[in-house]
Amino acid sequence: MADQKIRGVRAAWADAKASLARQAEVFDPEPMEERDGIAPGQWPGYPHEKLPPNCPVIPLGVADKTSFFIDCMGQLIAVDSSEWGKKILVNLFALTPNYIYWAWPRFSAPKTDKQGKVTAPSVINGCEVDDAVACLVKAAAKRGLFDPSEHIRGRGGWQDKHGRFIWHSGESLWIVEKGKLKSSPPSEIDGIFYPRRPPVIEPWQQPVDTETSPAQSIFAALNTWTWERPVIDPVIAIGAIGCMFLSGALKYRPHTAAMGDKSVGKTELQGLIKAVVASALHDTGNTSAAGVYQRMKRDCLPVAVDEFEASEDNRRAKELIEIARVSFSGGRMFRGGQDHNGVEFTLRSAFFMSGINLPPMKPQDRSRFAILNLGKIDASRIGDPPVINADSDGRMILRALMDAWPRFDDTLDFWAKILREAGLDGRGARDVFGTLFAVAQLLLGKEALAEAGLPIEEPQYLAHMLGEATAAERSEQIDNWQGCLERILASPIDAWKSGDKLTVGGVIAELEDGRLELKWARERLAAAGLGLKDRTSLKDARGDPYPAQGFVLCVPAKGPLLLKLMADTVWREGGWHGALKQAPHHVVIRHLGNGQNVKVNRVNERCLLVDLGAYDALVTPAEQPIAA
């Protein structure tokens, strides 16, 4: 405890020193004074051959009619060619207004008496605006074409080209080198510009290890919620908090959604996250996608959304899911702007959502989320509410992550291997759950994970345990072609039998069970625009019989009945054909030449042939025991 107090005092002292350094007086002498021995307007290259020395405005480049600069305050400024004038110059040099008059002075005529003798020398009475503008525009043009989305990074966590973690707090850039925290003003690093922005949370000034990290007490608090998976869900939750700090430094940003009925503690969970992530968090209970990306701009700060709900109108939720999908891989979004000029956003934020009913998600979106289900709060497990020190806990967790960052890749490799052995696919094993578990380990350490119930020193048993715990996630990991085929099989047919309306899959099941003859099955499937063949009737492109027995479902590329069947799906308007072609060749057959031609409703159609036996074997493989 005494050691922690000493480190706290040292951190506070370091904070004070850093604050004083930022408040240093700006150097801006009177216009007539020399600067580094150079008189006003006498610098080499005057007036616009090159920039004057020690120019506080940094040109970045141009795009179309726009020139980009870092102004004297460190902010990114874009100036259209129609906007130039003295007001823009004053804004660019706001902290150093005398510099404009020293660099591009306009001199008054000297005063003389009647005999022509100079009684008062020339003085600077303004600036040559055109010369200043020409100089700045030329300097920007010499930097070349500039893409802000590629070369500008806002606040949040980033990784430089050397793999180092950089935290941009708005007023400073922070990096840990050889165990020491270093800061610098927002600037250019490896061709990337980090402009000055309003301040957010800064890292703790002293090193933070797993034993003294507040992550331990936060993890203990997370364990008081009633999670569906009491061993792994709190670990995922603490990993999600860590990912919110790392955001832009991660190759992929896993998102998390905590769902549950009323009175399960969702609001309290959001409050805990808000207290920890503090000023770096964009949190809201009711926002739109536009509200998120307009505030984020070029930041990669995390986003927390409460009341992430399914409703009668899911448009808001769908928009949020869309930007979460883009943010997962750090993609761009384009939206219309004023004067028909598009606005571009690059999103790299980690999202933490909560709500009662999970909105509908496409498989590709669902695979980017870790879904945590909450049950009713167990009164017997409720202790004192978690005490979060808003002045230190989030900063200490950030510093702990910065200290541990060099171990991240190896830790991620370990968890990805375990989760692949548990049965998760590449995205789930590495990009989502692997990242969450790896970050949790960086924050808590191996010993704390073992005490929580994860046998981290027994990889084989750990894989078995996680395989059982993630069975639901794995069952939802279906490929696009499989989702399309399952939609076809589940579709009702406008044909009746014994008062029951059958599905495509139901007709096939009756055929395979011997309760329906092949000709009647064909008749019913034809009502859905589909064909059916005995597998033994097929011949390959050389005319040889196709081996094995069973049935194949014949799916045309077009047809009014299929258009109606798939009208409300993502595979509408013939999209089902392209989706099914993504299946393995032995499941969806498409290389039999004329053998692909099938009559459906007396019309000869070129079909894809779904080998139903091969499909069943692929999606319901024989169970293999996992060694304990």
The total of other beta-carbon atoms located within 10 Å of residue 363's CB is: 14
What number is the average pLDDT over the span 112-117? 75
**Residue 404 sits in a domain of what CATH number?**
3.40.50
Residues 6+ apart with CB under 8 A from 371: 256, 257, 259, 358, 473
Write down the H helix ranges in 76-125.
86-92, 97-103
CB 151 within 8 A of CB 178: no
Domain boundary among 432, 453, 475: 475
**Long-range Cβ contact pairs of 132-136 (< 8 A, separation 24 or more):** 132/47, 132/89, 132/100, 132/103, 132/104, 133/84, 133/85, 133/89, 134/47, 134/48, 135/47, 135/48, 135/50, 135/51, 135/52, 135/103, 135/104, 136/51, 136/57, 136/59, 136/67, 136/69, 136/92
What whole-number percentage of the chain has pLDDT above 70? 86
CB 241 within 8 A of CB 377: no
pLDDT, residue 314, reads: 74
Confidence of residue 276 (pLDDT cuts 50, 70, 90): very high
Q: Does position 337 have pLDDT exceeding 50, yes or no?
A: yes
Residue 168: C-alpha distances to residues 195, 247, 300, 522 (Å): 9, 12, 10, 65
Same domain, 222 and 286: yes
CB 461 within 8 A of CB 455: yes
CA distance 435 to 240: 9
Same domain, 374 and 271: yes
| Domain-embedded: residue 52 | no
What number is the average pLDDT over the span 332-351? 68
| Domain-embedded: residue 68 | yes
Q: Does position 622 have pLDDT exceeding 60, yes or no?
A: no
| Domain-embedded: residue 324 | yes
Q: Does position 18 have pLDDT exceeding 70, yes or no?
A: no
Which candidate, 574, 536, 327, 370, places its Cα nearest to that of 466?
370
DSSP 8-state secondary structure symbol assigned to residue 544: P
| Domain-embedded: residue 208 | no
Same domain, 470 and 558: no
Residues 6+ apart with CB under 8 A from 598: 531, 533, 554, 556, 604, 605, 607, 609
Confidence of residue 298 (pLDDT cuts 50, 70, 90): confident
CB 351 within 8 A of CB 204: no
Same domain, 440 and 525: no
DSSP 8-state secondary structure symbol assigned to residue 359: P
Same domain, 377 and 353: yes
Burial 132-143 (b: 16+ CB within 10 A, else e): bbebbbebbeee
| Domain-embedded: residue 470 | yes
Same domain, 485 and 389: no
Same domain, 468 and 541: no
| Domain-embedded: residue 234 | yes
2, with CB counted inside 10 A (0-12, 13-18, 19+), is exposed
pLDDT, residue 556, reads: 95
Q: Are strands 531-534 and 332-336 parallel, antiparallel or unpaired?
A: unpaired
CB 581 within 8 A of CB 588: yes
CA distance 188 to 156: 16
pLDDT tens by residue, 92-110: 999 999 999 999 999 998 8
Same domain, 367 and 311: yes
Which candidate, 346, 307, 314, places its Cα nearest to that of 330?
346
Helix (H, G, I), strand (E, B) or coil at 165: strand
pLDDT, residue 20, reads: 43
Which candidate, 328, 327, 329, places its Cα nearest to that of 345?
327
pLDDT, residue 494, reads: 76
The total of other beta-carbon atoms located within 10 Å of residue 271's CB is: 17
Residues 6+ apart with CB under 8 A from 331: 346, 347
Confidence of residue 319 (pLDDT cuts 50, 70, 90): confident
Domain boundary among 411, 441, 475: 475
Same domain, 222 and 338: yes
What number is the average pLDDT over the span 598-619? 90
Confidence of residue 452 (pLDDT cuts 50, 70, 90): very high
| Domain-embedded: residue 343 | yes
CA distance 569 to 606: 22
Domain boundary among 475, 494, 516: 475
What number is the average pLDDT over the span 206-235? 94
pLDDT, residue 508, reads: 93
245, with CB counted inside 10 A (0-12, 13-18, 19+), is buried
Round the average pLDDT of the chain to a whole number and report it.
86
More confident residue, 536 or 56: 56
Same domain, 582 and 527: yes
Same domain, 453 and 534: no
CB 255 within 8 A of CB 239: no
Residue 112 is part of which domain span?
58-146
Same domain, 571 and 520: yes
Q: How many domains does the chain have?
A: 3
What whole-number percentage of the chain has pLDDT above 90? 60
What number is the average pLDDT over the span 299-321? 81
Confidence of residue 231 (pLDDT cuts 50, 70, 90): very high
| Domain-embedded: residue 170 | no
- The residues pairing with 255 across neighbouring beta strands, listed in sequence order, are 369
